[in-house]
């Protein structure tokens, strides 16, 4: 079957042949006559019945597979259409067109459905809730071995009509006594009732065990309206605290040792204690030692095992930095035992890494006038930190080539230079007396500077000078 847009421009269901109007839909079939593809026009008289799409008689019924043309192929040296399969005469979804369509253009697509939107707070306030319920619990806590307490759950009618609620309490350990929980409670609108559940941890229980206690309230008017509250009781109470200390300042390139102390201020043994130290970029951990196994990578993670009540565990972490700046490290401790105070589970320390000053010198602008040699000595801070209070404390001279003597004239010693930031330079003019035929001499400067932490650095430099 071959479709052509030029022959299908008439309204659907109308066929023009000369001056006589005929109804139906027309299409073309391909016949091979003397190795030539010939288009034979076909007409559909019954628009409501099956159509002989595959150009094979008799027409297809609604439950008969069909063949239609699709991709091109070659037969007897001619390009023809390769037959494809249809599921029936009305399988329009799999009907392939080469060009055009049957009749006029189809109906426009259905408009897109407007997206669903949440109701506003004002609209929600206008909706009357007839039935509703909420259950709130006491939260999670830890009990020392042998210790007892009473959990109080609150069941409240959140609806606008009286309701009766079925109550169901469950416990994962034998610590909670749920036999006293009533089977149901009846509450008026907004009314609430406290449900008490006694709990006692066994004196010989294992520290770190947990009892999950659930209370559910289900509306008897509507089984889809319910609420559940949960409370987890952990056997044992270990108040872990952590502190971290290190030098407030450290010279770059030297090891920075941090001391992390974990303390158990609680009444029970802390089990499965984990210590994690997070280091800032630029501060690299080298090693860590403690009572447990420590893994050193981008962070330091130590498994400390158990920490007894009142005990302290110390961890030493060695770090290095190749850049100057202020670095803040933090440590966090946790365990499988309930911790009643989490605010002291994290500690931090700040250290300023101080760069080292390093001085280089270069001689420029050498000029000899008679027996007087003048030159410019340029000093540059090539270190990793500021050079504070830089000064030349001594200048010595000696001839290298020729005969005669050399002597220092000015400026007066010591020569104060001041502060040089990293990469900065400063120059000083020097006058030297030269006698005889000295053609080459050595100039040596001794001096010192301080870093930003007040640490003293000495330097010595020499240059060969040709007058």
Q: What is the pLDDT of residues 141-169, one digit of tens each?
A: 888 888 899 999 999 999 999 999 999 99
pLDDT tens digits along 318-357: 999 988 999 999 999 999 888 889 999 999 999 999 999 9
pLDDT at 88 over 70: no
Residue indicated by tokens 């009509």: 161
Q: How far apart are CA 379 and CA 449, in angstroms?
A: 12
Please give the average per-residue pLDDT across 64-90, as a whole number: 51
pLDDT of residue 224: 86
More confident of the two residues 384 and 141:
384
Q: Tell whether the model's pLDDT for residue 274 goes beyond 80.
A: yes
* pLDDT greater than 70 at residue 13: no
Domain boundaries, the chain: 5-94, 133-235, 240-354, 359-465
CB 405 within 8 A of CB 438: yes
CATH number of 359-465: 2.60.40.10
The reported pLDDT for the residue numbered 126 is 52
Count of alpha carbons within 13 Å of 435, Cβ hemisphere only? 6
Residue 434 burial by Cβ neighbours in a 10 Å radius (0-12, 13-18, 19+): buried
Return the pLDDT at 11.
38
Cβ density class 38-62: b for 16+ within 10 Å, e for less = eeeebebeeeeebbbbbbeeebbee
Structure confidence at residue 86 as a pLDDT band (50, 70, 90): low
Residue 464 pLDDT level (bands cut at 50, 70, 90): very high
Average pLDDT of the segment spanning 382-407: 95
Both tokens of 270, joined, read: 């802390």
Name residue 196's beta-bridge partners: 152
- Of 140, 138, 167, 142, the residue nearest 151 (C-alpha): 138
111-139 pLDDT per residue, tens:
565 666 666 666 655 555 788 999 999 99
Between 198 and 122, residue with greater pLDDT = 198
For residue 56, is pLDDT > 60? Answer: no
pLDDT at 183 over 60: yes
CATH class (in words) of the domain with range 240-354: mainly beta
Nearest to 359 by CA among 432, 417, 442, 441: 417
The phi, psi pair for 93, rounded to 5°, reads -65, -25
Return the residue matching tokens 């001689």.
363
Between 444 and 436, name the one with better pLDDT: 444
Q: Are 381 and 423 in contact (CB under 8 A)?
A: yes
DSSP 121: H
Q: Do the first three CATH levels of 133-235 and 359-465 match, i.e. the same topology?
A: yes
ω before 411 within 30° of 0 (cis)? Answer: yes
Closest C-alpha to 434, from 406, 408, 409: 406
- Residue 44: pLDDT band by 50, 70, 90 thresholds? low
Return all residues near 332 (Cβ < 8 A) that are at least 6 apart. Answer: 242, 275, 276, 278, 345, 346
Read off the pLDDT band of 268 (50, 70, 90).
confident
The answer to whether residue 60 scores a pLDDT higher than 50 is no
Q: Averaged over 180-184, what is the pLDDT?
A: 96
pTM higher than 0.75: no
Q: What is the CATH number of domain 133-235?
A: 2.60.40.2310
- CA-nearest of 178, 289, 151, 304 to 242 is 304
Which residue in 211, 189, 194 sits closest to 202, CA to CA?
211
Six-digit token pair at 414? 């010591």
């Amino acid at each position: 079957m071959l479709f052509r847009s030029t022959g299908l421009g008439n309204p659907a269901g109308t066929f023009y042949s000369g001056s006589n109007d005929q109804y139906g839909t027309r299409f073309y079939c391909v016949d091979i006559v003397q190795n030539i593809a010939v288009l034979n026009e076909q007409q559909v008289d019954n628009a409501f019945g099956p159509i002989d799409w595959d150009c094979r008689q008799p027409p297809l019924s609604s439950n008969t597979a069909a063949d239609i043309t699709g991709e091109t192929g070659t037969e007897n040296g001619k390009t023809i259409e390769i037959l494809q399969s249809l599921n029936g005469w009305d399988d329009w979804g799999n009907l392939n067109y080469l060009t055009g369509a049957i009749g006029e253009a189809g109906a426009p697509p259905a408009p897109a459905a407007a997206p669903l939107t949440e109701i506003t707070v004002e609209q929600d306030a206008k909706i009357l809730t007839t039935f509703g319920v909420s259950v709130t619990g006491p939260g999670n806590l830890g009990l020392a071995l042998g210790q007892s307490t009473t959990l109080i759950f609150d069941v409240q009618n959140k609806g606008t009509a009286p309701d009766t609620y079925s109550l169901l309490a469950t416990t994962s350990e034998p610590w909670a006594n749920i036999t006293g929980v009533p089977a149901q409670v009846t509450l008026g609108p907004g009314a609430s009732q406290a449900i008490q559940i006694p709990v006692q941890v066994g004196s010989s229980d294992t520290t770190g065990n947990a009892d999950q206690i659930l209370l559910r309230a289900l509306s008897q008017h509507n089984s889809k309206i319910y609420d559940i509250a949960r409370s987890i009781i952990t056997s044992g109470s270990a108040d872990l605290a952590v502190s971290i200390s290190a030098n407030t300042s450290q010279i770059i390139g030297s090891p920075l040792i941090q001391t992390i102390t974990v303390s158990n201020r609680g009444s029970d043994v802390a089990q499965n204690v984990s210590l994690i130290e997070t280091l800032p970029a630029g501060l690299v951990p080298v090693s860590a030692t403690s009572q447990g196994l420590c893994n050193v990578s981008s962070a330091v993670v130590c498994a400390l095992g158990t920490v007894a009540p009142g005990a302290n565990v110390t961890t030493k972490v060695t770090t290095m930095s190749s850049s100057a700046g202020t670095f803040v490290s933090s440590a966090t401790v946790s365990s499988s035992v309930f911790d009643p105070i989490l605010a002291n589970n994290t500690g931090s320390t700040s250290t300023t890494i101080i760069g080292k000053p390093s001085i280089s010198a270069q001689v420029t602008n050498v000029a000899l006038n008679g027996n007087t040699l003048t030159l410019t000595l340029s000093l540059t801070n090539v270190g990793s930190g500021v050079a504070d209070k830089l000064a030349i404390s001594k200048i010595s001279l000696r001839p290298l080539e020729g005969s005669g003597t050399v002597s220092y004239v000015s400026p007066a010693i010591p020569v104060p230079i001041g502060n040089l930031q990293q990469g900065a330079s400063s120059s000083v003019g020097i006058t030297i007396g030269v006698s005889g035929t000295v053609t080459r001499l050595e100039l040596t400067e001794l001096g010192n500077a301080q870093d930003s932490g007040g640490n003293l650095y000495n330097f010595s430099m020499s240059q060969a000078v040709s007058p």
